[in-house]
Amino acid sequence: MPTLEEAIEQIRLGNREEGRLLLEELLEEDENNEEVWLWLSSVVETDDDREICLENVLALNPNNVVAQKGLEALQSGTFNANDLLRDVLEEEQAPEAAPPTNIIDAFNFDN
């Protein structure tokens, strides 16, 4: 069974067809994988397929900003798969937000 990382590596190396095949195989195992649908949207061939992929992402997570932007670009005729890939990569590399502090953390008991 391939991994998402293997599919991403193929896409990054320019082997989009191989990456697409790996992503499709992953979806056969878990069709509710938001990341796989998002990556797949960047390597499918038609706008209809891109729209299906992005709508599946948003069905799983309506707050996915990358999918929202991709769908808006697709509907306005300005979709660019490379832009979507860049957004996905930036989203993956963004540092996670610090966990919120609780009220106990606001007090300094050492004084």
Q: What is the pLDDT of residues 16-49, one digit of tens each?
A: 999 999 999 999 999 999 999 999 999 999 999 9
What's the predicted TM-score (pTM) here?
Answer: 0.78
Specify the DSSP class assigned to residue 59. Answer: H
- Compute the mean pLDDT over every residue in the chain, rounded to the nearest whole number: 85
Q: What share of the chain is helix, strand, coil (3-state, %, to 5)?
A: 65, 0, 35
Instruction: Look at residues 42, 36, 23 and name the one whose alpha carbon lies nearest to residue 83.
Output: 42
Q: What is the pLDDT of residue 97?
A: 47
Which amino acid would we find at residue 34? Answer: E
